[in-house]
Structure formats: C-alpha cells, structure tokens
Amino acid sequence: MLCGLYELDITPPLGVNLPGYFEARVASGIRDNLFVRAMALENSEGTPFILINMDAITSEAAQTAFIRGRVSRLTGVPDGNVMVTATHTHTGGPVDGFVPGTVDENYMQYLAERAADAAVLAWNRRAPARLGSGRTQEDSISFIRRYHMKDGSFQTNPGFRAELIDRPAGDIDPEVSLIKIESPDGKLMGVVTNFACHLDTVGGCRYSADYPGELARVLKSVYGQEVVSIFLTGACGNINHYDFLHRTQDYYKKADPPHHVRMGRILAGSVIRALATIETKEEEALAVDSASFPGLIRTPSAEDVAKAQALLEKQPYEVCFRSETGVTGNTYNLVERHYARSLLDVAKIEKKQVTLPVQAARIGETAIVGVPCELFVEFGLEIKKRSPYDFTMISTLTNAQFGYIAVREAFEQGGYETQISGDTMMAPDTGYDLTDAAGNLLARLG
C-alpha cells in the first residue's frame, strides 16, 4: 500500500464568527491553530482513496463537491473516492449559518481550497507504508447528555443537579478505533482515531481544535512532528463531555489545564497504549463505495407556525454578538426567538424529500462509514454491530450536513436534538433508513 499524509493550517482571521452557539461570537484570539489533514492511499491495483479531515463545525455538500472536483482535476482520483469530514469543533471558522448572516464566503472558499490542496499534497507524497488496525476503550470523558429527571420530565444538559436527575437516556460508545500507519522501517507516519464525543468543550471567542487538537499535539511530542493525527468524530449526537451526576461545574470551568486539554491528554494516553500493541503489515485491501437514500423533512404543524409567528410579532428576532467583553443585542428569549425563526424557515421549504449520501471505505481490516449528520450513538452502535469488518469507524459530519438524526424515542421525549429547526428537521425514521443504507453498503463493499 502507498500512503501519503499532509496537513495545512486553516486558522481564519480574527473578527469573524465562531459558529455553534445561539449568539454570534466574534473571534478575538487563538488558543490553538486549526488544521485540515489528508490521507491518500493507493494499492497495487491502482485503487485510490483520499480522506480529508477539517477542524470545522460542519462539511456542507456544496463545499464537498468543490473539494472533490479540485482534487480530481489535480490528481485524477475519482470524486467518489474522496471523503470529506469535519471534526465539529465549536471554536472553528465561520462556515455554518446557525446564526443568520454569519457565514464568511471568503473563508469558505479558502477552506475548500486548502482542504483540496492538503489532499493533493498527500497524494503527491505517496510512499510505501504498512497499516494496522486496533481498538481500545475510554469511558471516562464522554457521557450521555439526555436525562430522565426524577420529576418525570426529560432534559438535555440538565446542569449539575445530580439530586434532580434519575438516569441518563442511553449508553455511550466507549470504543476508540485506530488505524496505524508506519513506514517500512517502522517509523510512525500517522494515526486515524475514531471516538464519539461532541467537540464543544472550549467555549469563548478564541479559535481551538478542541480535544482532538491536544491529541494531535501529544502524538507529535511522542512520535515526532511529522506525525499526522486524523480525528473522525463518532456517533455522538446525544453525547458530550459533562458528567452531570458525579462532577461539579467548577471541575470543568476552573480546570488547569483547561478541560479540552485534559480530555485530549486522557484520550492520547489510551491511543498511545493501543498503538504499542497494534502490528502493521503490507496491506492491499482497499475499496470505496457510496450509496444514498431518500429522507423526509418534517412539516411544522399549523399550530406551531402560528405560535412562532405570534412570538416574533411581539419579539422580533435579532442577531446578538458575544465578545470577550460581553454581549451586544437583546438576549431576552433569544433561544425561543431563534427556534421560532428557524421553524418558519423550515415551514417554507417546498421540497420535502431530500437525498442523503452515505460513503464507506475499506482499509485493511477497518471500514470507515461516512454519514452526513450528527448521528445518535444508538445508530452508530447498530451500524458497528451489522458490519462484517473487524473494525468499523463511524465518521459523522461527512460530505454533507443534515443536522441531528435521533432515535424515535427522542422525538417523544423532546429536547434540543429534536426541536424542529434548520438543524433538526429530518423525520423520525431517517436514522433507521440511514442504518439500513450503511449496513447494505458495508455488506457489498469489496
């Protein structure tokens, strides 16, 4: 197998928006730089595969199409053999319109070009390599964020009130899946890590790649600065980093080093231990395939539309801006106004049926399944269960973005991940159809 790895800095200029919150956050500094990383593979039969991984909150379909087209023109690799992923960091560049008017088109173009360039440079750097797959467990830094409360209610992120919480609604996926890439003389070239936990542990108004950024720094410090660390965010639509049952808010807010650094180092410890036991070999198995399935956008009820209109007539929506010094704008009822505005936007969508893409790549003993959404962990676990491969990675926010994909029970329970909006508009059956499509794709993958 030939393998090339490359990384490029994609840190934006200051003064633009950091997406991920209900307020627009004006970037005022850099905690750590953002990168796009690429891995290019080719076996002896000439089968190519390029994996692109961006420190960004999302990967949009139009952006993926541009990246694939540029890569294909400059390398000859077919569009369908390129996979574009985002880590989902909430302290990245201005590429998401959760807050209206905050996407920076200049940065979007820059990011797409840099992503494609990283892929081309990785392709041009192809050299003989040995690959190995492995896994470990890390259950101390990720937690289900949806809870049954003792009063019979249901809440997402209920706060540090253990006395009010009955139990979490589900179980995490503690598996850390790995692909180890070495040179023929045994020098580590790169690592692909797959783990399921939301990247929203930093906050504030400074750029950061979150805990995968610290993972990358630790791996470089141990194995050398040339090592490229690619992080694929697993099925974590209902998972984050807060242990509401056993920790206090101060444990996270006053952490020194900051909690995202602590998380990255804990994960790095697990990865390093696992790498020591993974044996690499001259691998030739490489295959890429894609599928798609129809999905349905939900239609808000007439009652909900009327409520949203009435709210916005009394309290019009406006964008609020957060900086290091405070908030500008009227934040009263901001979340409710956001959802009212977004619900009306969804109600205006005429084409209710959309096509969702799924992509899979087999690399030796590992299969990577790329899904275009923030997938609930239950679906990720089911895809892994159905997979015929020894190791299966679930890569979310891949090639496109269709928001949260939740289990049916979540729609009955309510909560942030199912309240209808531009980021939560897919029908309750979508995740089950996606799981079937992924399972069928894995079954036919060469």
Beta strands in 138-248, from DSSP E residues, in sequence order: 143-144, 146-149, 154-156, 165-168, 175-182, 188-195, 206-207, 228-233, 239-240
pLDDT greater than 90 at residue 274? yes
Contact predicate 298/251, CB 8 Å: no
Which has the closest alpha carbon to 243: 370, 182, 158? Answer: 158
Half-sphere CA count of 172, side-chain side, radius 13 A: 21
User: Hey, where are the domains in the chain?
Assistant: 2-289+355-444, 300-351
> Are the C-beta atoms of 213 and 201 separated by less than 8 Å?
no
**pLDDT for 32 beyond 90:** yes
Render pLDDT for 155-198 as a digit per residue (tens, 0 to 9): 999 999 999 999 999 999 999 999 999 999 999 999 999 999 99
pLDDT in tens, 122-146: 999 999 999 999 999 999 999 999 9
CB 383 within 8 A of CB 392: yes
The encoded tokens of residue 155 equal: 């809440």
Mean pLDDT of all residues in 241-255: 96
For range 73-97, the mean pLDDT: 97
Helix (H) or strand (E) holding 314: helix 302-314
> Could you give the CA distance from residue 152 to residue 392 in angstroms, rounded to a whole number?
37
Q: Which two tokens stand for residue 271?
A: 């990865």
What pLDDT is recorded for position 324?
A: 87
What's the mean per-residue pLDDT of the chain? 97
pTM attached to this predicted model: 0.97
The predicted structure's pLDDT at residue 36: 98
- Is residue 446 predicted with pLDDT exceeding 90? no
Run of H or E including 215: helix 211-223
- The pLDDT tens digits for 199-226 are 999 999 999 999 999 999 999 999 999 9
Helix axes 61-75, 105-124, angle to 10 degrees: 40
Question: Tens of pLDDT along 386-420?
Answer: 999 999 999 999 999 999 999 999 999 999 999 99
Q: Which residues pair with 368 in a beta bridge?
A: 361, 393
Contact between residue 38 and residue 63 where contact means Cβ atoms under 8 Å apart = no
pLDDT digits (tens, 9 = 90+) for 351-382: 999 999 999 999 999 999 999 999 999 999 99
421 HSE (CA, 13 A, CB side): 21
Alpha helical stretches, state H, 19-95: 61-75
- The predicted structure's pLDDT at residue 165: 97
Q: In sequence order, what are the residues at sequence separation of 6 or more whose Cβ sits closer than 8 angstroms to the Cβ of residue 186?
A: none
- Is 402 exposed, middle or buried (CB count within 10 Å of its CB: 0-12, 13-18, 19+)? buried
Q: Kindly report the backbone phi and psi dihedral angles of residue 218, in degrees, each rounded to the nearest multiple of 5, phi listed first.
A: -65, -45
Q: Are 93 and 111 in contact (CB under 8 A)?
A: yes
27, two tokens: 């970037």
